[in-house]
Structure 1
């Protein structure tokens, strides 16, 4: 994982074709109806109940592989970043107005929070916020490349 203080430089070094690992998933995300399902909860022969858990759709796994390959999920104290939680909780957040570093920090919150709250990541796909964040990252990168070409 990339350190937060190295994120901007790292993002600017990622080649446009490499970004397609993430941006190429957009049509599949848009076409996906179910991003995961709860499994488990079965009664075992001894009468105990197996803990239920979320099983994510393949597109969620593809997303995780893409962001890991790109190394765009920065390490920082995400549990203390109140603004990030507010941005994710507010349904009116316009992710297109946020800098790419902020968007990547939001990815950290979502991915890390899923480890403590199983199904959080699936829920962010299901409610459309993950798609909005990915599209905002793409828009940010497209704008960056356009400005770079004009120089």
Structure 2
């Protein structure tokens, strides 16, 4: 079961293993306007200035349409994620260091493809979309009706959130959420037909 850290209504899934320290990933860097500070087991994300903005605030940004090619580039990972015993990686750490999640080679390949194929979109204001993303985590059946742009927003939110909350992506793989996103993309792709 996933737990969530909650800061000003911004949520991130924490792995059920309970090994997350709530500290910044060594690889993550914040710009000068963002604030981040460890608070026990909480991940404190940079927040938007206007906390009353609507959840779908990024809908006015022009996100390019998702193409068949983008979907085709990541669908080959679906059978791998469905395999019995698939593991996204493992937690590492040494005494005196904060633990980190080391992705398996397959997971790194998948995340690389997600990034290269523009599934992580700079047009998505993910910090403003976290509450909506949480509804897809809490109610997985919502994914069954998600369109390709929603899947893109979810990928963006999860990949970006992992930079501020070490283990977020691990929890998304562990819970089966990433698998459900790929299954939904397969259904969407089938509906697109061939060129």
Tell me, yes or no, whether TM beats 0.5.
Answer: yes
SS in 2 for 1:55: strand
Which residue in 1 is equivalent to 2:106?
59
Gaps of 5+ in 2: 1-60
Preserved CA contact (<8 Å) 2:80 2:86: no
Deviation at 1:139, TM superposition (A): 1.1
Q: Alignment RMSD, CA only?
A: 1.9
Matched, 1:115 2:160: no
Matched, 1:23 2:72: no
The 1-side partners of 2:99 and 2:114 are apart by 27
SS in 2 for 1:23: helix
**The structure with more helix, counted as a fraction of residues:** 1
**Count of matched residue positions in the alignment of Structure 1 and Structure 2:** 132
The 2-side partners of 1:97 and 1:53 are apart by 34
- Structure 1's consecutive aligned runs of 4 or more residues displaced over 6 angstroms after TM superposition are none
TM-score (norm 1): 0.77
1:5 to 51, 62, 72: 62
Gaps of 5+ in 1: 44-48
Matched, 1:85 2:138: no
Deviation at 1:133, TM superposition (A): 0.3
